[in-house]
């Protein structure tokens, strides 16, 4: 897939195509190609994160008029977390468009999902700058917000850490413990890999940009591995 194909797929026509190109450039590519004359996507990601949160919050506030603040916050978290956005970016063929270092390009682990999630936010930032708020809201609606009903129906908004603790205590008589297995990257762009343990047994691992995010990812993976419904 090319950038032109992507624009056709999502129904966009960028005025400044370099913005869209930048949205798919990971820092590792710039570090490996310092003379490329290109810029990585982290500033666009920073902007897109804020735009995405506003659009999602506005949508949920208007759609679920009888739901309290706690419910809306849980719904929003389920929509904008790295897992959901990474899966969405994969569906949109972001892997075909990313510019990564040779090492990152070979990595197909869950760390790649986090990179794709960041790229989705960067694309949101690029669309906002190039096309404005109404157009970026339409893009988010067509790609992400259409998943809201399924997320609520499947209970994917629930607190995975609390849920896995309840199930583990009920079934195994054990309280899960979380341990950092690995962390990498500079201080401004840390990536954590965390394991969830039942006693001494490693049940699953999770990745995230913070320990909390990685623990939540690990909890969801443990629920899936154990076949415990609800999240």
pLDDT in tens, 47-93: 999 999 999 999 999 999 999 998 999 899 889 988 789 989 999 99
Distance CA 82, CA 208 (A): 7
Q: How many residues does the chain have?
A: 231
Distance CA 46, CA 40 (A): 12
Distance CA 36, CA 222 (A): 42
Q: Considering only the top CATH level, what class is 160-226?
A: alpha beta
By annotation, the residues acting in catalysis are 49, 121
* Residue ranges per structural domain of the chain: 3-153, 160-226
Provide the β-strand partners of residue 197. 177, 202
> The sheet that has 201-208: what strands, in order across it?
177-184, 191-198, 201-208
pLDDT of residue 231: 43
Was domain 3-153 assigned CATH 1.10.1520.10? yes
What residues of the chain score a pLDDT lower than 50? 230-231
Q: From residue 173, how far is each of 85, 166, 224 by CA, in Å?
A: 34, 9, 19
Distance CA 21, CA 99 (A): 9
Residues 157-177 have pLDDT tens digits of: 777 888 898 889 989 899 999
The two beta strands, 201-208 and 177-184, are unpaired
């Amino acid at each position: 897939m090319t950038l032109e194909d992507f624009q056709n797929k999502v129904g966009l026509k960028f005025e400044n195509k370099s913005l869209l190109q930048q949205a798919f450039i990971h820092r590792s590519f710039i570090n490996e190609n310092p003379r490329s004359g290109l810029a990585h996507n982290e500033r666009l990601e920073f902007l897109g994160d804020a735009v995405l949160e506003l659009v999602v919050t506005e949508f949920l506030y208007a759609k679920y008029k009888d739901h309290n603040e706690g419910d809306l916050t849980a719904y929003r978290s389920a929509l904008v977390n790295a897992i959901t956005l990474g899966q969405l970016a994969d569906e949109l063929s972001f892997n075909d468009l990313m510019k990564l270092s040779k090492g990152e390009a070979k990595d197909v682990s869950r760390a790649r999902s986090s990179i794709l999630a960041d790229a989705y936010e960067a694309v949101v930032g690029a669309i906002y700058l190039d096309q404005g708020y109404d157009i970026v809201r339409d893009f988010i609606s067509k790609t992400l917000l259409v998943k809201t009903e399924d997320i609520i129906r499947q209970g994917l908004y629930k607190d995975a850490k609390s849920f896995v603790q309840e199930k583990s205590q009920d079934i195994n008589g054990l309280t899960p413990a979380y341990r950092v297995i690995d962390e990498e990257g500079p201080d401004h762009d840390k990536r954590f890999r965390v394991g969830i343990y039942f006693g001494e047994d490693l049940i699953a691992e999770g990745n995230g940009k913070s320990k909390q995010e990685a623990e939540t990812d690990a909890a969801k993976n443990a629920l899936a591995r154990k076949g415990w419904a609800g999240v």
